Each structure stands twice: as structure tokens, then as C-alpha cells.
Amino acid sequence: MLVEVIAIIVAVLIVLYVLGTKRGDPDPSKMSVAWLVNRHKSETEWTSNFLFLPFKSQQSESLSKAYDRRKAYIEQIESELAKRPMNVTSNEFADVTGILLRRLEKRKKSHMNKGLSEANAVELATAELTGLPSLPPTSSSPTDIGQRLCMDLDYSCKIEQVSVQERALLAAANIPIDRYFAEVFALAGFARDYAIVKLLGNAGVGKEVREGYLEIWTKVWQEDLARTAVYRLFIQRCPGYAKAAERIQPGEAVDSIGLEFSGFLAQNNSHARQLALTYAPMYYIQHFESTRLSLHQAKLT
């Protein structure tokens, strides 16, 4: 059975490589940031699948060439993203939102075709898309939903999810991965908090959801010695990120989040700046949009 699975993975990787070779890869400089972010994700998934293959399979000439080609293309995408510190507009941010919502709709329809109810299909599709467990039922209180949004950070933000490319840039910048991950977690925490306020307001239901969200940060995480440093970092970083996020207006740069992250991570370090400008906006968008989807699932928006 395992041999058959490996054979299928190898065959799929080869087919994708052949198709990509025939069509040619689009020039990253001519593509939108939303496209670059999504292509980067798919290319990284391809290379990750390759690295999980048995060593003998990796020695295949066609697969080995494909891997080198994919790695080179990932570097081109990352280089292009790093060149666009002020080109990520709110329109492109909306493009990413649209992509996520279209994927949600596609997965929902697929699950409904298999016999699931629409409510269960939406719940399952959201969990698959965001990588999070499902939120409590819509009958849960807004405070419960806020608490779950905070606790789910443990699922959406794991240190083992830090990519090979991020680790390479960290090594070049001489930044410990634990320090980087603490900054990522604080940013993800802010993105959720900011999404709650932006989407629900800071009164009524929005106030209740946010109180539940912050309650976990203050009462649970502050009391957990292992998380105290991250809690303090979250409190320290939120004001700066809030100012950066408020600059995300028509014609302004979403990338202000990346610049803020870069300043927190390491001043005057080109590798750290590239890392921040490439990945910080992705973490922010992921957690802002997954919060939007979760609040919609809970019928609060």
C-alpha cells in the first residue's frame, strides 16, 4: 500500500513538472502580489512533497531537475515580493480575500455533493481552509467564540510550520527561530484581535467577542510561564501593528505590516527585512481572513 502511495505521489509530481515545463512559469515581475502569495504556497507544497519521498525516488533525474527548477522559481517569487515594499495595495489584499472565499465556496459545494448539510459543509470547509478546528456552535455565546478564536492560535500558528525558506533566511540573518516564532505568534494574535474590532466593532457583540478573546491572553496565557514572554510581546506589539494596519487604505500599502515586523525583528539587516516583507503580510492576511471566515460561520457577520 505504501509503495502504491509513493508511486502515485511520484507520478503526480512528474506530471506537474512536465505541464509546468511545457507552459513555462509566468514572470513573477508581471504578476500581482495575491498571485505571488498563492503560487509561493503551491510551489512550497510541491517541494515539501518531494522531500518526503524516499531517497531513491528523489534520485530520479526528472524529479531532481523538477525540484531544482521549483526551488529556483520560489527564490524568484520571494525576490520579487521583497522588491515590492510599497506595492501591496488594498485592492490586492481584497484579491486574497476573494481567493479564500472562492476556495471556501468550492469546498463547501464538494462536501454538500457528498451528502453533508450546508451548515456542516461550511464548518468542515472552513476548518480545512484555515487549518483550525471548528468553532463552537452558533448557539455559543460571543464570549465563548472569542475565547475559541484565541485558543485556536495553537493550531494555526505552530513553530513546525515555519518553512524551509524562512529558516534559511533566519540562518542568514543570524536570528534564532524561537525569537522569530514569538514575533509571528504576536502578529497572528494581533491580526485576530484587529479583525474582531474591524468586522464587529468594539461595542455590543463585538465587545463581547473581544473580551472573550483577550480573556484567554490575560488570564490563561499570562499565568502560563512558558507563554508569558509571548503574552508580553503581544501587548507590546499591538499598538505598533494597529498604526500600521490603519494605514491599509486605498492606495496605501498592506506591506506596512511587513515593515513594522521588520523593525521589531532586526534593524538594518537585509535578510531579516526580506523575511519580514515576504512572510509577515502572509501571516497577517491568513489570520485576519480566517477570523473573518470563523465569525461568518458563527453568523456574527
- Encode pLDDT of 184-210 as tens digits: 999 999 999 999 999 998 889 999 999
227, 292: one domain: yes
Which residues have C-beta within 8 Å of that of residue 69, sequence separation ≥ 6?
A: 17, 20, 21
Residue 210 CA to residue 204 CA, distance in Å, equals 10
Which residues have C-beta within 8 Å of that of residue 161, sequence separation ≥ 6?
A: none
Domain boundary among 82, 101, 123: 82
72, 96: one domain: no
151, 290: one domain: yes
Phi-psi region of 136 (alpha: psi -120 to 50; beta: other; left: phi over 0): beta
Which residues have C-beta within 8 Å of that of residue 159, sequence separation ≥ 6?
A: 177, 178, 181
Amino acid found at 67 = Y
Question: In this predicted structure, what is the pLDDT of residue 120?
Answer: 63
Domain boundary among 27, 51, 82: 82
114, 165: one domain: yes
22, 104: one domain: no
26, 122: one domain: no
Task: Tell the residue number behind the cell numbers 464587529, with chain if given.
Answer: 200
10, 114: one domain: no
pLDDT per residue rounded down to tens, the chain (301 residues):
434 444 444 444 454 444 454 457 888 888 876 677 777 767 766 766 666 566 666 677 777 787 788 878 877 887 776 665 434 444 444 444 455 567 777 777 877 777 766 766 666 666 665 554 444 444 578 888 888 888 888 878 888 888 888 888 888 888 888 889 999 999 999 999 999 999 998 889 999 999 999 988 887 666 666 678 888 889 899 999 998 888 775 544 457 888 889 888 876 778 888 888 888 888 888 888 888 888 887 888 7
Q: Answer for the pair 47, 67: CB distance below 8 angstroms, yes or no.
A: yes
CA atoms within 13 A on the CB side of 175: 25
CA atoms within 13 A on the CB side of 246: 7
What would the grid cell of residue 54 be? 524516499
CA distances from 141 to 120, 150, 213, 273, 290 (A): 19, 15, 12, 41, 19
How far apart are the two ends of the chain, measured CA to CA in Å? 46
Which residues have C-beta within 8 Å of that of residue 231, sequence separation ≥ 6?
A: 217, 218, 221, 222
- Torsion angle of alpha carbons 241, 243, 244, 245, nearest 10°? 80
Residue 235 CA to residue 242 CA, distance in Å, equals 11
255, 161: one domain: yes
How long is the chain? 301
What would the grid cell of residue 205 be? 457583540
71, 105: one domain: no
The number of distinct structural domains making up the chain is 2
Domain boundary among 82, 113, 140: 82
Q: How many CB atoms sit inside 10 A of residue 190's CB?
A: 25
CA distances from 151 to 23, 148, 213, 222 (A): 44, 5, 8, 13
- Which contacts qualify for 228-232: CB closer than 8 Å, 24 or more apart? 229/182, 230/182, 230/185, 230/186
179, 272: one domain: yes
Domain that holds residue 188: 90-297
243, 129: one domain: yes
pTM equals: 0.58
159, 223: one domain: yes
